[in-house]
Amino acid sequence: MIKYILPLALLLASCGDSSTDGNSSDSSTTTEEAVAVIEAGSIGEVSCKQNSAVSYSVYIPANAVPDSVYPVVMFFAPDGKGVKPLQLYKSIADKWNFILVGSNSNKNGMEAALAIEIGNTIVNDVKGRFNIDPARIYLSGFSGGARVASGVALTRLDVTGVIGCSASPPKSLQPLAFVGVAGLGDMNYLELKKFVAAEEGKPGLHELLVFDGKHDWPPAPVMQNAMLMVSLYQPGTAMSGDLNQMADSLTHYVLKGCDTLSKVSCLLEQNLLLSAIHAEKNLSSVGLLESRYDKLKNSSCVRSDEQKWKSIEKNEAELQKLLSESVLTRDTTWWRQNSDSYFTSKTDGPEKYMRDRLRGYVSLLCYTYCNQAFSMNNMHAAEKLVKVYSIVDPDNAEWAYMQAGLYARLGVREFVIPALDKAVALGFSDLQRLNSDPVFASFSSEAGFQQILAKIQSK
């Protein structure tokens, strides 16, 4: 198959068949079959030949040259906005010559089997269109998208590694490389920590990188470390990338990160060093990491930190149990009076991160229980749960969207548009979801509803 990577543009062409074993043969490609021209250094959108309803965004590294092969990272976002991770990480792609792909057809709420089928369609399409290094195919995703990435990887033989952001795989991905990433204030941080701990001692790469944040895509420097780690764990058949150059750079980035972490937690510093050491194995640059690690291990600082974090995480588990019951049993007055005591901390550090995770945990419970109440047509329960949701996580647009849905179901039409307007003000931007939600079908021709759509489109 002829694949076109031009000095200034990548000519996209047809994909191969839909098999998922990683061994499908490529079909012939001509310029007449090309569906788009994407210049190197820019983002374009592609529809799959196998299923034109499935699409993805793609970023070609700025320095792409003819007749070269490239590693690829394929991202799955929970909201179906595949362009977002490409915008976040294209600087990494340019530096290390990655092709980046983001699915526009996977989103939270889909049946798992369908999400994985779509993911496989995209992987096959990408392999058929682009000059991909077959030994450096990586999948990644955030939150529900991370679960899709892991699910797709488990069905294939051609994926080399997975970067799971804010969600763990359903089971071990061995022999694939796995790097989990989560904010220390992310409600799924402990889930990922537990998964990686369970993999400890087994063959392969399974690491956890953390950052100062909540439930969100990781900052570019952290994602770069993750991409370098899975790249270093590659088979000898790889046709792209310089292992020593990647390892030297990873060592530099990690030591710089440790300088920052040392002011926060020597335990986190030690963990980052260990992850990089595992990734770099026997490469020459690992000595600098091992030297710094040797100075930290078994230190009183690390032992003290371990005890502190374990104690806080134990308390977190107890609070999760208490508050999961309280979501259903306590009234809104109790939540208004007590929420701050559970979700805020007077000090920074592990206590604050735990309180942030706890808020995210209860917020997710509210979201789940609200949906269950709607599905059971229990509007009394839904009304109370939406109010609790707004108290627990007031900056989350989802409670306002659910409030609008509640008003629509109750027939209180005059409050629907203001509630939707509040959701948009808080960041709601899922135009497709709003347009296809049957609860709001009777509002579609109203001027207020059209103004809401226009606000979302203008963002």
Tens-digit pLDDT profile for residues 172-215: 998 899 999 999 999 999 999 999 999 998 888 999 999 999 99
CA distances from 63 to 96, 202, 428, 456 (A): 10, 38, 36, 35
Residues 231, 376, single domain; the answer is: no
Q: SS3 letters for 381-428?
A: HHHHHHHHHHHHCCCCHHHHHHHHHHHHHHCCHHHHHHHHHHHHHCCC
Question: For 43-97, what is each residue's pLDDT tens digit?
Answer: 999 999 999 999 999 999 999 887 899 999 999 999 999 999 999 999 999 999 9
| Predicted TM-score (pTM) of this structure | 0.90
How far apart are alpha carbons 35 and 13 in whole angstroms?
A: 6
278 occurs within a structural domain: no
> Can you point out the beta strands (E) in 19-124?
36-39, 43-47, 55-59, 70-76, 99-103
Domains held by the chain: number: 2
pLDDT in tens, 82-117: 999 999 999 999 999 999 999 999 999 899 999 999
Average confidence (pLDDT) over 13-38: 41
- Decide if pLDDT at 33 tops 70: no
In a domain, 257, yes or no: no
Q: What are 435's two structure tokens? A: 């347009």
Q: Which of 241, 274, 292 is the last residue of a domain?
A: 241
Task: Give the sign of the dihedral formed by CA 48, CA 50, CA 52, CA 53.
Answer: negative
User: What pLDDT, on a 0 to 100 scale, did the predictor assign at position 235?
Assistant: 64
CATH code of the domain covering residue 404:
1.25.40
CA 167, CA 142: separation in Å to the nearest integer? 7
CATH number at residue 222: 3.40.50.1820
Domain that holds residue 360: 309-458
Domain's final residue, options 214, 241, 268? 241
> Within a domain: residue 262?
no
The answer to whether 198 touches 69, Cβ cutoff 8 Å, is no
Per-residue confidence (pLDDT) for residue 459, from 0 to 100: 78
With respect to residue 297, please indicate whether it lies within any of the assigned structural domains: no
Residue 16: pLDDT band (50, 70, 90) is very low
Q: State how far the Cα of 313 lies from the Cα of 180, in Å rounded to an integer.
A: 19
- Do 356 and 444 belong to one domain? yes
Q: Are residues 113 and 13 in the same domain?
A: yes
Q: Are residues 433 and 316 in the same domain?
A: yes
Q: Are residues 207 and 336 in the same domain?
A: no
Read off the pLDDT of residues 235-289 as tens digits, 9 standing for 90 and up: 678 888 898 999 999 999 999 999 988 888 999 999 999 999 999 987 888 999 9
